[in-house]
Chains A and B, each alone.
Chain A
Amino acid sequence: MENNQILSLHQVSKNYGPIQALKEVSFEVPAGSVFGVLGPNGSGKTTLLGIIMDVLKANSGTYQWFGQPPHQDQRKRIGTLLETPNFYHYYSAIRNLEITAAIKGRGTDDIERVLKLTELWERKDSKFSTFSLGMKQRLAIANALLGNPEVLLLDEPTNGLDPAGIAEIRELIRQLGQRGTTVIMASHLLDEVEKVCTHVAILKKGVLLTSGHVDQVLANEDMIEIGAADLSRLEGVLSSLPDVKSIRRHNGSFQVIFTEGRTAEQLNRHCFEQGITLNYLAVKRKSLEARFIELTN
């Protein structure tokens, strides 16, 4: 790798007439990360990915791939699935991949591998127009994987796939991440992202709300689950603490979030000093979904 940052965006903005799709978005994607770009529908995820692949033009701002200003040859090193599978409908899977291989300046020797990996080898000679939605999506994934690119850019990669297909793609992304491939993935399936991503950026209405390592984005507000025989007394003790942000009753215990980083040990000691013996104590990382909903609402 020429640079520690695979991709860096600086103050990227994009308007569609009066609608601001992206507003001064800046973040960096470290080499070797599995980077999730998250946001509700219409948050600007696909617009962002379209700009960095030069199919959409930003109104202002800049970006760099591999530490260099944008150039078409950089895109030959990136395997991309953007929005929908785009292929010549009158051609078979294999002919379509031959065109991609030619544009990328690669041989056709990798086509068999990627078609087998995406379980399309049996249908390699079928026209794209005869494929189901799931098969089209698989072909788009095969297209992105062609030639083992250094970077994968996947926009909603599990669209149209059945549960088994989703699990396979998740596992594939995880394996590629472990092998050092940088994966940039836009998704609204937060569970998926949480399972595979090391870094995230969260967008809402074109504004970047947060970005960074998953642990950083989620860790600043751990949640402590706590239980005791006398729940009403426990609630009174918890409520008297000055740094409590929220208390929620959940299945015979309380879920407590503190504004300061209070440890479970400190909380246990405090309760004991107040004469309460805990029968349940657990620290839970807030789910990405909870964090996402909190940030985007």
Chain B
Amino acid sequence: MTQVLKIEWLKVKAYRTFWILIGLFTVAGPLLCMAYQSLNRQVSSKLPLFKDPFAFPEVYETTAWLTSYMTPVMGILLIILLTNENNFRTIRQNIIDGWSRDQFILAKFGVMIGMVLYITLLVALTAFVFGAQSGGSPSEGTSMILLSALQSLTYLSIAFFLGTFMKRSGIAIAIYVFYAYVGEFMIAALLDFKVKTHSGAFLPMECTDRLISGGSKIIRQLASRATPPSNTVYALTAVAYILIFCYFSWRKMKKADL
């Protein structure tokens, strides 16, 4: 495993696109938190009804929620890395040169897990920095960091699926971005209000969005017409989607002509 990851590192360590997107994500997550904090302070000064979302333990959920808006940037990077291998036909060359298909798949899953770890680390660090300024007990509510990792894995497994099945990176990225920012919100709302209350929660991204609802919690509660599913149901739905997306991606790479 270490060896295949070292080779994946060789593939990206001098790839400009990789560093630009990593840099964008790294900067944008904390900046978004800073922007939200400024907005929140202004609102709270006039309407002091709510708890400080940047104090421990709420800060874990707030940073996880805000960072999730930037997670599609990492999804885009994953799509680019996967479609590059198809477009340059280097997936074929890697196998020809002596990797098994399983090693290739393992390497790409390794990249995805590495990204999840990086996102989670950034969420944790951001939470610590913002939480330290606002007070509270840092040891409480840390399970939210694990849920954040689950959310990132769900987002990235969708990107993995698209990157594996779509040959053109442009179309795959367009579908991913549209779905992440507009498509799923639209489908979830239609399912919730036109089909069955809370049925929208069983969509791939929505299940973890409702698990880590952060600042959107009040709106969600106001819009709710019945008791929502439990956090366990949300988490299990996310796990099921991760397994489904990863299984179909694995199957494609394992069986297809390259």
Say yes or no: B98 contacts A90, CB within 8 Å.
no
- List the A side residues contacting B99 at CB < 8 Å: 72, 103
Say yes or no: A53 contacts B95, CB within 8 Å.
yes
A104–B98 alpha-carbon span in the complex (Å)? 6
Per-residue CB contact flags for chain B residues 93-129 toward chain A (1 = under 8 Å, else 0) read 1111111110100000000000000000000000000
- List the A side residues contacting B88 at CB < 8 Å: 86-89
Minimum CB distance partner of B258 in chain A: A55
A90–B18 alpha-carbon span in the complex (Å)? 11
Say yes or no: B98 contacts A86, CB within 8 Å.
no
A-B contact count (CB 8 A): 73
Q: A86-B96, A87-B93, A103-B97 are in contact. List 4 more A-B contacts (CB 8 A).
A: A55-B95, A57-B257, A82-B92, A100-B93
- List the A side residues contacting B100 at CB < 8 Å: 54, 72
Say yes or no for A1: interface residue by CB 8 A criterion. no
Within 8 A of B (CB), among A269-283: none
Say yes or no: B10 contacts A102, CB within 8 Å.
yes
Say yes or no for A235: interface residue by CB 8 A criterion. no
Residues of chain B whose beta carbon lies under 8 Å from any beta carbon of chain A = 3, 6-7, 10-11, 14-17, 84, 88-90, 92-101, 103, 255, 257-258
Minimum CB distance partner of B101 in chain A: A54
Say yes or no for A213: interface residue by CB 8 A criterion. no
A50–B256 alpha-carbon span in the complex (Å)? 12
A87–B87 alpha-carbon span in the complex (Å)? 10
8 closest residue pairs by CB, A with B: A76-B98, A86-B93, A72-B100, A86-B89, A55-B258, A103-B97, A75-B98, A56-B257
Say yes or no for A219: interface residue by CB 8 A criterion. no
A100 in contact with B257 given A82-B92, A91-B14, A95-B14 (CB within 8 Å): no
Say yes or no: B7 contacts A54, CB within 8 Å.
no
* CB of B188 to closest CB in A, whole Å: 38
A98–B14 alpha-carbon span in the complex (Å)? 13
Per-residue CB contact flags for chain A residues 50-74 toward chain B (1 = under 8 Å, else 0) read 1001111100000000000000110
